[in-house]
Amino acid sequence: MSSRRRFLQTTAAAGAGLSAAPQTTGLDAAAIARRHNLVRTVPTPDFFEGLLLGNGDIGVCVVVRPDALGLHIGKNDAWDIRVSEEHAGHIKTFKEVLELWKRAGEEAKRQGKPEMTFLESTIGFFREYAQLMQSSYRKPWPRPWPCGTVWLHWDSRMVKLLRQELDISTGVLTIRLEVDDLRGKTRRVELNCFVSRENGHICVSSDSDAPAISAAYHPNWDDQARLPEPELQAEDGSFSCFQYFPATAPTEAQPNPPRTKDDRNFALHAVLAGQWKAEPVDTRRRRVFLRRVGAQPLRLDIALFTPRDVADSVAHAKSEA
């Protein structure tokens, strides 16, 4: 029998054996994921220690300090989109750049330093060109822009963190606290945090009276960014932030460029269920602050949108929160 015929017969037999084998059941990805929950039993106050929630568009880093729960919020399309291109008219061709190298080498020889290195930063005319080309990259923009941080504060004498557990099959973070009334009685409180899979919605809630006594929102700010101030508003039981992103970068000649159709923004609106008293917006510290009025369960709903989601991001965030 030829080797070719033997190969075909062997292959056919192997295939028949496979078809007769019992079919395996499909894997349950959610059940597998539930066996690998992320657990923390100590405070995680630092951003790089926090547990991450998100839906592919909105991301939240949840941190727990001894005295507060923090939500660091971000969104994929919340960007400082400015690009500085003052150097564009001075870009040389490859041929011209090679000529610069040649001239720089000749200048090094003229100075009696034929072995000179880093000509692009040592020879004056070459350094001037290199710095001009790097000027755009030295700007802080374009870059992602964080959407601020929400803090829910409690009395660290009365509250002890027992456990944080993130179910990666559902994206729900459960935080278990022990609350001491400082009179000999303790009770357990459970907080749940999640980001909606369907839209720009973040939720934090409790299963009973929560220890949170105040809430604060701090927008992201960088003095070097030269962006418009965030527009903050606070009312009893709610607060909001609107951040405008010009598309045109400031220059020495035009430090405050006019608005254009390419400008962007994000709008955040939050609602606290129950009774919360808002303080006047602290424009100097760029902060909104609300105090709880009486013991009550916690329910915080946050909506976050940009013009890429809906044209009127402000109205939509307010209606969805």
What stretches of the chain adopt beta strand conformation (E)?
38-40, 51-54, 58-65, 68-75, 79-80, 143-144, 149-153, 159-167, 172-180, 186-195, 201-209, 214-218, 231-235, 238-245, 264-272, 276-278, 288-292, 297-305
How would you classify the pairing of strands 214-218 and 201-209? unpaired
Give the integer Cα–Cα distance in Å for 63 and 218: 15
Burial of 255 (0-12, 13-18, 19+ CB in 10 A): exposed
Angle at 60 between CA 59 and CA 66, to 5 degrees: 165
Determine the residue type at 19.
Answer: S
Structure-token pair, residue 68: 């507060």
Phi, psi of 66 (to 5 degrees): -60, -25
- Radius of gyration, alpha carbons of the chain: 29
Instruction: Output the pLDDT for position 253.
Output: 85
Which residues on neighbouring strands pair with residue 69, listed in sequence order?
64, 152
DSSP track, 147-185: --EEEEE--TTTEEEEEEEEETTTTEEEEEEEEE-SSS-
pLDDT at 104: 92
d(CA 84, CA 250): 8
What CA–CA distance (Å, rounded) separates 319 from 304? 11
pLDDT for residue 3: 64
Pairing of strands 172-180, 159-167: antiparallel
Cα 226 versus chain centre, distance: 20
pLDDT at 271: 99
Written as six digits, the tokens of 177 are: 């606290």
Helix (H, G, I), strand (E, B) or coil at 230: coil
Q: Where are the domains of the chain?
A: 29-80+145-320, 88-134
pLDDT at residue 21, as a whole number: 53
pLDDT at residue number 86:
72
Q: What is the rounded CA–CA span in Å between residue 305 and residue 291?
A: 26
Residue 166 backbone dihedrals phi, psi, to 5 degrees: -100, 115
- Supply the DSSP symbol for 78: -
pLDDT of res. 299: 99
CB 147 within 8 A of CB 268: yes
> CA angle, 212 as apex, 206 and 217 as ends, to 5°?
105
Classify strands 238-245 and 264-272 as parallel, antiparallel or unpaired: antiparallel
Please report the pLDDT score of residue 17 as a whole number.
54
d(CA 84, CA 133): 11
pLDDT at position 249: 92
Report domain 29-80+145-320's class. mainly beta
Place of tokens 């597998």: 32
Q: How many residues does the chain have?
A: 321
Residue 158: what pLDDT?
98
Give 276-297 as a DSSP string: EEEPPPBTTTTBEEEEE-SS-E
The residue ranges of the chain whose pLDDT is under 70 are 1-25
Residue-level pLDDT at 190: 99
**What are 90-135's pLDDT values in tens digits?**
888 999 999 999 999 999 999 999 999 999 999 999 999 888 888 7
List pLDDT tens digits, range 182-222: 999 999 999 999 999 888 999 999 999 999 999 999 999 99
pLDDT of residue 63: 99
